[in-house]
Each structure stands twice: as structure tokens, then as C-alpha cells.
Amino acid sequence: MNIGEAADMTGLPAKTIRYYEDIGLIRPARAANGYRDYDDKDVHRLAFIQRSRSLGFTIDECRSLLSLYEDKERASSDVKALAMDKIREIDRKLLELKSLRGTLKTLADNCHGDDRPDCPIINEIAGGTQA
């Protein structure tokens, strides 16, 4: 199948599919005319990458997951370790976002939100100085 059909089947833009080929995540065959020729295995691999990315895995992590997926002798503990690393990263980001939210909420609560130019939000962003 051509790249358009592969894109339709996976929901990925053709540009993304070409990028995944450029970085070696997929290697479709080439037809006699030189066009990419995707088979069911390529489409399945693209869908696997898409699902991995939607779970927050980076390209390099997707590469590791693909390697584990293709290794029928893999230990599930290796896959779980990648997932647990991702969970810890997500938890860290959640803490950062909660902290950012708290800071911004405090600043917004202390802003009068009226016609006066004095604004603690701007002052904080400017480093505590007023222009």
C-alpha cells in the first residue's frame, strides 16, 4: 500500500510516517517505481509507535519498546521497567504543574484586575521589578 493508505489506516500524517522512516523506526519496501510500499507489518508497527507516543513515550523509548516487542524472548520485567520509569516521570511533571498552578493562582488572587497599572503577575514575571 502507498503512504496515503498507511496514513489513513494509522491516523498518522504522511509527513510523520516519512520522519519515522528517516530515523529508522520503520523500513518499508520500495516498489519498482521507487515509491514506498507499506505492508501490514509496517502499518502495525506505525500503530504501535502511535499508541506508544500517545502514552507519552519519547522516540527513543518507542525504539526500546519496539525492540522489546520484537524480541519474543524478552522478559516482561523489562517492559514494566520502562512503564514504571514513564510513570515516575509523569508524577514528577504533575508535581511541577501543581506547583506552577499554585504560584500562578496566588499571583492571580493578588491581582486587582482593574484599570490600575499595578499588577503582581507582571511584577513577578519581570523578576520582582516594576518598569
* Domain locations in the chain as residue ranges: 1-74, 79-131
Question: How far is 49 from 43, CA to CA, in rounded Å?
Answer: 10
Res 130 pLDDT > 80: no
User: What tens digit of pLDDT does each residue of 4-16 get?
Assistant: 999 999 999 999 9
User: What tens digit of pLDDT does each residue of 90-117 get?
Assistant: 999 999 999 999 999 999 999 988 888 8
Whether pTM exceeds 0.85: no
User: What tens digit of pLDDT does each residue of 35-72 get?
Assistant: 899 999 999 999 999 999 999 999 999 999 999 999 99
Tell me which residue of 123, 95, 97 sits closest to 110, measured CA to CA.
123
Question: Within 10 Å of residue 44's Cβ, how many Cβ atoms?
Answer: 13
Q: Which CATH architecture has domain 1-74?
A: Orthogonal Bundle (1.10)
Q: pLDDT-derived band of residue 118, with 50, 70 and 90 as boundaries?
A: confident
Question: How far is 72 from 62, CA to CA, in rounded Å?
Answer: 17
15 and 7 in contact (C-beta within 8 Å)?
Answer: no
